[in-house]
Structure 1
Amino acid sequence: MADKITTASAAWLTDPTVFAVNRTPAHSNHVTFSHIPAIGEPSDLKQSLDGEWRVEMVQASDIDLEEEPFAAEDFDDSAFGRIDVPSHLQNAGYMNHKYVNIQYPWDGHENPQEPNVPETNHVALYRRTFTVAERLDAARQNGGTVSITFHGMATAIYVWVNGVFVGYGEDGYTPNEFDITEALHDGENVVAVACYEYASASWLEDQDYWRLHGLFRSVELAAQPHVHIEDMKVEADWNPETATGSLDALLAVRNAKNAATVSATLKDLSGNVVWETALAASDETGIVSGSLDVKPWSAESPALYELQVVVIGHDGAIVETATQRVGFRRFRIEDGIMKLNGKRVVFKGADRHEFDAKRGRAITRQDMIDDITFCKRHNINAIRTSHYPNQEYWYDLCDEYGIYLIDETNMETHGSWVANNIETPETAVPGSKPQWEGACVDRINSMMRRDYNHPSVLIWSLGNESFAGEVFRAMHAHAHAIDPNRPVHYEGSVHDRAFDDVTDIESRMYAHADEIEEYLKSNPKKPYISCEYMHAMGNSVGNMDEYVALERYPQYQGGFIWDFIDQAIL
């Protein structure tokens, strides 16, 4: 671990330029195997660490991260409490519930100036033991690696394995993955996590919702063989003029020199081979199909296929198989209108928080299935992931059932630029402040790298209610550098029209129908969506007919009702 930082530092908590230490670069969420799997088979290279953990609540002032004894392998944690992972500390009784809208949760109690945090800062010290499963350990013993991934946490984590510091991470709505290979040993291992309530990241996470903390999504180990497909970037295009598809994939292959070939097979979900090829392995392996006889993907007809990539060693043995479901579709803005497969699309959408009255944001797979079934039964064809990337399984369901997604970056800074209904642009975070640019670009990068291959994702969103500024220009440019095809959405530019260029779509909240109609009659360059409208919390949702009537204008392309489910805790 000579090239890694091996000592934790409390200074990172208030330094916005430090948002990840030793974190694995963001990558696609393709599934890997040690063999050729059946369609739908779970990975044999992953191991869940969900279940009962031990936990102790302390204040930030009570711990020394550089010498913290709780992280030691032989630390006696018998006096710690118990908590299920995934879950929230509040729901387990370790912290009090808070609901905050525009202001920050410390407002009226303490007055830290960004990027600093309140002195009252809870820290949850988590610990659990684990033994690496034989199938994962075999990869480690044969020159591969093992990582630990925290799929969701709030707000910042320091991680140790067997007393060895392995990493620090913020942005708890995209994976925080750390290579722990060198810290592991045979037999029982110990993972320790210090999960902080507040960090500089808290200034970017002022969403209007229950403020819930802890390890609230799954934690898992994953093994990577000595030759490993680190990333798959798949373009599955469909040409409406020829009614044919084409596949263009770029694979990042670690230690490609130790492999002979990479073979790729495209199958329908019944297992029928549509197309296949084989080529020599290289660090960047490109796969290009040419014209394919495939069905297009849409919400009404969500046709899916599976791309299966097999890495073959020089001895002819299978080293690794990677699978990725794909849907062939083309989504573009043409002549100021968003079109899917050559036809105008209208979003009959809702804004959705991940939420359950008992579990908070630690929702289950069944919760997601229930939500998507409700959407399909009630003709909801689109969801905006307000205001953060969702659990990965949600995207799989949206691909399978047919739901259009606006995938939204984990960012809302409402309380930094609005006080008593008065806007103060000069105090906005991130605004045009260069110290925040890295963290904000990292957040959209992490989301896009993870979710790129999902056909359900039609639009990328830079975040919510965070004003405007040069940082958003950097985020918009980064998004289009990664993905030149999908449009980028951001509503906040309405507060400063000098930054109209940071959004490819005109997007407003709660605009009256007549105001929208004025825009549509002005020969606009951009299509229009209502990213929030109707406000359906409680007894409301009147005047819907006025918005539906706007659909006679081709550039009015629907909207997203706030919101999908009321946030209430039993």
Structure 2
Amino acid sequence: DDITFCKRHNINAIRTSHYPNQEYWYDLCDEYGIYLIDETNMETHGSWVANNIETPETAVPGSKPRWEGACVDRINSMMRRDYNHPSVLIWSLGNESFAGEVFRAMHAHAHAIDPNRPVHYEGSVHDRAFDDVTDIESRMYAHADEIEEYLKSNPKKPYISCEYMHAMGNSVGNMDEYTALERYPQYQGGFIWDFIDQAILDSNGRMCYGGDFGDRPSDYEFSGDGLLFADRTPSPKAQDVKQLYANVHMTVDASGITITNDNLFVSTADSTFVLRILADGKPVWSSSRRFDVAAGTSEHVEIDWPIDDYRAGAQELVLEASQQLTSACDWAPAGYELSFGQCVVAGGKIADTVTAASAASDGAITLGRWNIGARSAGREALFSLAQGGMVSYKLGEREFVLRKPLITTFRALTDNDRGAGHAFERAQWAVAGKYARCVDTKVEPLGETAVSVTYTYELAIAQRTKVTIRYVADVLGHVDLHVAYPGEKDGDLPTIPAFGIEWMLPVEYSNLRFYGVGPEETYADRKHAKLGIWNTNAFRDRAPYLLPQETGNHEDVRWAEITDDSGHGLRVSQTANTETGVTKPFAMSLLPYSSTMLEEALHQDELPEPKHMFLRVLAAQMGVGGDDSWMSPVHEQYQLPADQPLNLDVALDLF
């Protein structure tokens, strides 16, 4: 299973951290083709660092002669056992054990018995006097810009991140900044930490982690840092890893495809390239081709896309190229996709508009003392002057509003959020939207078939920033929803975790079909995914991170349909901003739990049996980060500055 996961996700190298692995694993890597860094059983982190303070004089083994024999014996035993495995590309002296003369002895011994393979050790970065104990510049959790500084310095050694992209919980954001460094020949890549969550399923069905066994002190859920969950099911994070680690990259445009083959040895001759055109997400044309691009080269292949045949009937066309296995292999069937490329070209169809001109004879707009209503043909939208929001949205007897949609300025904290201090810095946003108060309501009839109701809220922050929610409802049951945050320049406010609305729905509306990037969850800094139409549901979209946290978000959504098992439901689609006329995609999620419920739980089994569904429709959400889980913030370009406006513009329809 492990080897299949790696091959299917374009992972081509494993570091056996922090000890030699069982011999069967090396046999599998020999057979399937995985490069290994074989690592000596060595980890003495706690002997020389505590609370981020280094004490080199207490380091073990350091330069202490009494440790030399034991440490040399460890690398000798590993090398004698594994020498004849061709998968072993590099020997490693161990992990996080500082530096010293003992490592010089280990390095010398390794080269004495095997002069051909390089030797790796990261610990010399803590004492550059021992740079000679490693043949590779190796660092842990260096940011991409720091790595690039090294690569630009005409270095004598190749570079490897022996650990990077700390995959704890909802993580692995901004990974493309690292893979982009492959343009430097000295950059040899890195090893994501970690492969799999470490957790134990107890007899009550709880996935247990640190601290659940009476163990104190504990790092608690810090063991949940894998690309696989503890039951070996892939995490949504693996979606980006597969695409970014692909050996063949495709840049698609209206003239064809630029194919870059980063393989060292094989051409693309054995691959099938499946070309498709999607019209507003629906496949309308496909063709299979074969292209022979040699290893280490790039070639532009002209494609006569039949764009004009489909442009008029679509708002946008997606041009797609998919590299697939022509024949089955040991780890995947024929047709398995290795990588893809897409681009979007404008269509010729004007966006659909809903008009009330053909309203049924029973259509009516009601302007009451307490409520404003629009109804016709079994559809009704009701807006309360007293409650300050939409209090009913019905199709026949089906009610879609259990409580008025609330402004949200928060998300359930991720592990990276906690580690970077996002919780402390952004605490005010946890309640700013949830406890916002309505301070004004404006009603504007729009002829006899539509009405506009605008609610103005003050956010629960010191600045009392005003946010407006405007509903434009017609007698056909169509509602335009516009949520506007103007940007707050008074005071030095922290960036906003998320902005939009959170909406409680009846529990039966658990199915989700959407046109956006997917199929797995995506975030602003983690969306190397396919644009298309995807089917999922609220239960599948709740990724079972060891500690419940933000999950299920979908980016670049054009429309989403939330339905029950009979197919009835609510459609949310992008619409034009009333001031700028600009139409842009939105972000959304459908989950059986609210952001607050996820934030409060410490284990997945603490979340109750679902009683409702929670639809969250956002103008934007900050990224998830991934450089590490203890210090590094989400990168600035993936944050939401509080002094900038945010607008959510969507249309609602019942069916």
Q: TM-score, normalised by structure 1?
A: 0.35
Q: TM-score, normalised by structure 2?
A: 0.31
Mark the structure with the bigger radius of gyration: 2
